[in-house]
């Protein structure tokens, strides 16, 4: 198992810098991903995210409900409720690269497409976009 040794070199420096700035501003940082929690937890912990909302693995090893599309804002709201927190979504930031991230991006007042795939660019051409390479 390679854990963070495999994942962290794939993190864009601009993304890490953005994350650090949000954390320094006192914002909760939540990694919301369709990837499975069994390996994304390494990245979330190493990068210092407040929480990880990912596709779960069931006790029998099967994959649980995928954290994509409309599931992302639902999980964000559920996490906030469980933490006893309220979000100022108009002041919140969200970053995503695919069309399935759109519901999460639209939840926040500051959505940013990062290295967006064609379907996301087409679905939200007016949204801010950045290339992190």
Two tokens, residue 47 = 């990068």
Under 8 Å between Cβ of 104 and 76: yes
Q: Kindly state the percentage of the chain with pLDDT values over 90.
A: 83
Domain ranges for the chain, please list them.
1-8+28-87, 88-133
Q: Where are the alpha helices (DSSP H) in 25-133?
A: 37-47, 71-83, 102-107, 118-123
pLDDT at 122: 98
pLDDT tens string 30-83: 999 999 999 899 989 989 999 999 999 999 999 999 999 999 999 999 999 999
């Amino acid at each position: 198992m390679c854990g963070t040794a495999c994942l962290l070199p794939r993190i864009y420096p601009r993304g890490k810098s953005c994350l650090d700035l949000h954390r320094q501003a006192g914002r909760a940082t939540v990694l919301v991903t369709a990837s499975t929690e069994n390996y994304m937890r390494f990245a979330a912990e190493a990068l210092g995210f407040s929480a990880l909302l990912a596709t779960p693995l069931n006790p029998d090893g099967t994959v649980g409900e995928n954290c994509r599309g409309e599931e992302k804002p639902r999980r964000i709201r559920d996490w906030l409720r469980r933490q006893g927190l309220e979000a100022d979504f108009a002041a919140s930031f969200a970053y995503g690269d695919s069309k399935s991230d759109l519901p999460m991006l639209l939840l926040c007042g500051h959505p940013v497409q990062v290295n967006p795939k064609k379907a996301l660019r087409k679905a939200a051409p007016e949204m801010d976009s950045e290339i992190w390479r």
